[in-house]
Amino acid sequence: MRYSYSVCRQNIASMARRWLVLGEGVRRLHVSSAFKAKVAMSRFEPGTSISYEKLHENIDIVRKRLNRPLTLSEKIVYGHLDDPVGQDIARGRTYLRLRPDRVAMQDATAQMAMLQFISSGLPKVAVPSTIHCDHLIEAQIGGVEDLKRAKEVNQEVYNFLATAGAKYGVGFWKPGSGIIHQIILENYAYPGVLLIGTDSHTPNGGGLGSICIGVGGADAVDVMAGIPWELKCPNVIGVKLTGSLSGWTSPKDVILKVAGILTVKGGTGAIVEYHGPGVDSISCTGMATICNMGAEIGATTSVFPYNHRMKTYLNKTGRADIAALADEHKDDLIPDKGCKYDQVIEINLSELKPHINGPFTPDLAHPVSEIGAVAEKNGWPLEVKVGLIGSCTNSSYEDMGRAASLAKQALDKGLKCKAAFTVTPGSEQIRATIERDGFSKILRDVGGVVLANACGPCIGQWDRKDVKKGEKNTIVTSYNRNFTSRNDANPATHAFVTSPEIVTAMAIAGTLKFDPETDYLTAANGEKFKLEPPNGDELPARDFDPGQDTYQHPPAESGSVMVDVSPTSTRLQLLEPFDKWNGKDLEDLQVLIKVKGKCTTDHISAAGPWLKFRGHLDNISNNMLIGAINIENDAVNKIKNRLTGEYGGVPDVARHYKANGLSWVVVGDDNYGEGSSREHAALEPRHLGGRVILVKSFARIHETNLKKQGMLPLTFADPTDYDKIRPDDKISITGLATFAPGKPLKGVVKHGDGSQDIITLNHTFNENQVEWFHAGSALNRMKELQ
């Protein structure tokens, strides 16, 4: 493995980070265009960010080697290969060693990522990196009040992140800056860049022709350490778009339709690449919406080809220099003619109808025209209690403008929303601009509450008061996920995801049975009227208002910066290395829980109130698997302690097993670990004595996160073997002395009645990842190699 920590490289990286603030618009510091152009070019210096010339050179090498046309995603991914000459390349099979250009971390995941980086002993990050404070702000009253309260409640964590960023060369976006993915789109994404982010919706940047991939914190540490980053060579799913969007149909409907086709795991191991003549009818931020929610189909990432809509967005956000360079290298930023996809889906945008997906899963797709009847048939509450617009998926200027156009129509007829209505701006720039242009006032006047520039209810940061826990109700959001309990911790909340336009219309009408294309509303004077289709400018005519400056650049000299973690803190905890493998098979692992059905990272490591412990591994481990359904009794967080015979919470039983020297295994179903990138879902089982997660199939990020922490993520070679496991079984994993890529392991399942089953267990470890297991974690292995 190769490290690079020269002073020269650090200076170049520092200059690149500086440009990324200046280059997001002359507006922020009003730098001269000549100076801006000069620093913009420095962004493409070797060692800081891959240059378009280097990208082209690598693409040329790989194209000649493979002797075939390349898809756009292949161009960008292979263009960032550490060794384009010698790298083995086979879609869906080989592991690629890549050199990402940049790392981005949101505050909830950045805590553990920075704690791991600190424990690595390295002095500075080797690539431009940023931290974004967006997850810890709870929606309660309104933007100003909620932000103020968050700064007080989270002062210790924000101070840690700010000082750690300053110490190790990481830019820090303060609370109130906005949602990480919107900030990336406005400042850091550009056509052809390879960026990794510690959040599953990092693919949002694909709307600007970027390959942006969600990862766990340990992956981010590798990149920040200057180590080539591994990614299984993705398959490529092509989505050909024809026709054009119009009327009530929005970009959100494209991904809602695709989710219905591919399901929550149909994109696993693949990049979704949109192409075709219909692309040009979608705005840059609309493309970002589509890419963002590609996480809900399990895709590695999603991407659109460079076009004039992206150029316009770059120009409007102060990056005309980047747009000019992208124009010069456009052939490398679009797919080759004749390139082949592993699967092709075709969608005619002219025929696409508005969709609404849910409840409880983002791939349950319905046309809006049918959802009322479907809800009645299934007994879902028809009354819309709350409509929520915004989030990283749909909080652009265009989104807010189109929602405001509908609100204005209602106000003109003397109406306000029948449902509660919340609005989340995506960034300080969006907030300031929609405030200046009057959208915020319209949305408030119709009954809306404008929340802080943060994730808020989308990730469970919602102090909801209008219903009691367990009360059956319906909410409609423009978010991306609608898993059980995700938004408000109420398992009886039926959450549906749709476009901001449909959310606004349903909030005005107050019911799922309202189809704005055909149904009428009653004005205050008794007149019947239909809402006209929404309209809104793609970008502000008067340019963006930057709002408050919320960025902290790391100092050139950081020797005097202190990063304190109190040993008595309940929110932050320095990490201790995990134990190494002892060289033996794993004998008699107790089944901790056999999970029934869907088990997302929300089930494994809940968010909401638990977010405050994201920097304290022991405290947050108290939420491990408390949302998973125990197949033995269909209960949540109630399992039998096989040592005492008593029932207890999952974390409590796990702690008891660990204290008594009993290692354990979790048994799960399909697509285990779907959802957020949170590596806490892998850290917690490891911390509490788990050794193996045995399932039918894994979601990509979670499987990698488990490997990084020294766990064994294994799958049944025969999925029906899941049925052979009993909740009181013990399982031995044999064959570890010859553990190697492509070689299955054996599981000896020992039943309480003395009988046994021998089953074959598959894995996807490569040689480097086997070393992670031997060392006890990827971080341990990194230290061994220093």
Mean pLDDT on 602-608: 92
Mean pLDDT on 262-266: 94
Taking only the tens place, the pLDDT of each residue in 310-333 is 999 999 999 999 999 999 999 999
Q: How many H-runs (helices) and E-runs (strands) does the chain carry?
A: 26, 32
Task: Scan for tokens 């008593």, then name that residue.
Answer: 646
pLDDT at residue 50, as a whole number: 56
Average pLDDT, the chain: 92
What phi and psi, each to the nearest 5 degrees, are found at residue 369?
-65, -20
pLDDT at residue 362, as a whole number: 95
Q: Give the span between the Cα atoms of 494 and 374, in whole angstroms.
A: 13
Residue 41 has pLDDT above 70, yes or no: no
What separation in angstroms does the CA of 645 have from each of 268, 425, 639, 640, 663?
A: 40, 51, 10, 6, 17
94 token code pair:
């080989």
Nearest to 487 by CA among 110, 139, 134: 139
pLDDT at residue 46, as a whole number: 29
Contact 190, 668 (CB under 8 A): no
Q: Give the span between the Cα atoms of 358 and 64, in whole angstroms.
A: 46
Angle, helices 397-412/284-292, rounded to nearest 10 degrees:
100
Amino acid identity for residue 620 in this structure: I
Q: Give the span between the Cα atoms of 596 and 609, in whole angstroms.
A: 25
Contact 499, 476 (CB under 8 A): no
Nearest to 779 by CA among 124, 125, 120, 196: 120
| Residue 678 annotated to the active site | yes
Q: Give the span between the Cα atoms of 503 and 497, in whole angstroms.
A: 8
pLDDT at residue 32, as a whole number: 26
Residue 279 has pLDDT above 70, yes or no: yes
Mean pLDDT on 206-225: 96
Query: Edge-to-edge, what's the strand order for the sheet holding 343-348?
Result: 301-303, 270-275, 235-242, 343-348
Identify the active-site residue in 18, 132, 135, 656. Answer: 135
Q: Give the span between the Cα atoms of 405 and 533, in whole angstroms.
A: 9
Q: What is the pTM of this model?
A: 0.90
Helix (H, G, I), strand (E, B) or coil at 322: helix
| Residue 676 annotated to the active site | yes
Residue 39 has pLDDT above 60, yes or no: no
| Residue 491: alpha-carbon gap to chain centroid | 22
Helix (H, G, I), strand (E, B) or coil at 681: helix
Contact 421, 444 (CB under 8 A): no
230: Cβ contacts below 8 Å, ≥ 6 apart: 95, 96, 97, 98, 766, 768, 769
Nearest to 442 by CA among 398, 409, 404: 404
Helix (H, G, I), strand (E, B) or coil at 172: strand
Mean pLDDT on 3-32: 30
pLDDT at residue 608, as a whole number: 84
Identify the active-site residue in 355, 481, 494, 614. Answer: 481
* Topology of the domain comprising 355-522: Aconitase; domain 3 (3.30.499)
Q: Indicate the pLDDT class of residue 677, thresholds 50, 70 and 90.
A: confident
Taking only the tens place, the pLDDT of each residue in 156-170 is 999 999 999 999 999
How many C-beta atoms lie closer than 10 Å to residue 372's C-beta? 18
Identify the active-site residue in 676, 677, 697, 777. Answer: 676
Ranges of CATH 3.20.19.10 domains, the chain: 586-784
Contact 127, 13 (CB under 8 A): yes
Residue 7 has pLDDT above 90, yes or no: no
Q: Indicate the pLDDT class of residue 1, thresholds 50, 70 and 90.
A: very low
pLDDT at residue 647, as a whole number: 98
pLDDT at residue 24, as a whole number: 32
For the chain, what percent of residues have pLDDT higher than 90? Answer: 91
Q: Indicate the pLDDT class of residue 586, thresholds 50, 70 and 90.
A: very high
pLDDT at residue 609, as a whole number: 87
Ranges of CATH 3.30.499.10 domains, the chain: 72-348, 355-522
Identify the active-site residue in 678, 680, 691, 702. Answer: 678
DSSP E strand boundaries for 539-663: 551-552, 586-594, 629-630, 635-636, 639-640, 647-648
**β-pairing, 235-242 with 194-197?**
unpaired
Sign of CA dihedral 457, 460, 462, 467: positive
201 token code pair:
């919706």
Taking only the tens place, the pLDDT of each residue in 223-247 is 999 999 999 999 999 999 999 999 9
CATH architecture of the domain with residue range 72-348: 2-Layer Sandwich (3.30)
| Residue 102 annotated to the active site | no
pLDDT at residue 14, as a whole number: 35
Q: Give the span between the Cα atoms of 227 and 238, in whole angstroms.
A: 31
151 token code pair:
């700064």
Residue 740 has pLDDT above 90, yes or no: yes
Q: Give the span between the Cα atoms of 28 and 22, in whole angstroms.
A: 7
- Secondary structure element (H or E) that encloses residue 716, with its range: strand 712-716
769-773: long-range contacts, CB 8 A cutoff, minimum separation 24: 769/230, 769/707, 770/739, 770/740, 770/741, 772/707, 772/708, 772/710, 773/581, 773/707, 773/710, 773/712, 773/739
Residue 22 has pLDDT above 90, yes or no: no
How many C-beta atoms lie closer than 10 Å to residue 557's C-beta? 7
| Residue 466 annotated to the active site | no
Taking only the tens place, the pLDDT of each residue in 337-384 is 999 999 999 999 999 999 999 999 999 999 999 999 999 999 999 999
pLDDT at residue 154, as a whole number: 97
What phi and psi, each to the nearest 5 degrees, are found at residue 705?
-60, -40
Q: What is the CATH number of domain 586-784?
A: 3.20.19.10
Nearest to 488 by CA among 507, 449, 454, 461: 461
Amino acid identity for residue 667 in this structure: V
Identify the active-site residue in 101, 146, 199, 253. Answer: 199
pLDDT at residue 361, as a whole number: 95
| Residue 201 annotated to the active site | no
Between 32 and 295, whose confidence is greater?
295
Q: Give the span between the Cα atoms of 507 and 386, in whole angstroms.
A: 7
694: Cβ contacts below 8 Å, ≥ 6 apart: 665, 666, 667, 668, 714, 715, 716, 725, 731, 747, 761
Q: Give the span between the Cα atoms of 169 and 155, in whole angstroms.
A: 21
- Secondary structure element (H or E) that encloses residue 421, with its range: strand 420-423
Mean pLDDT on 607-620: 93
Residues in the chain: 786
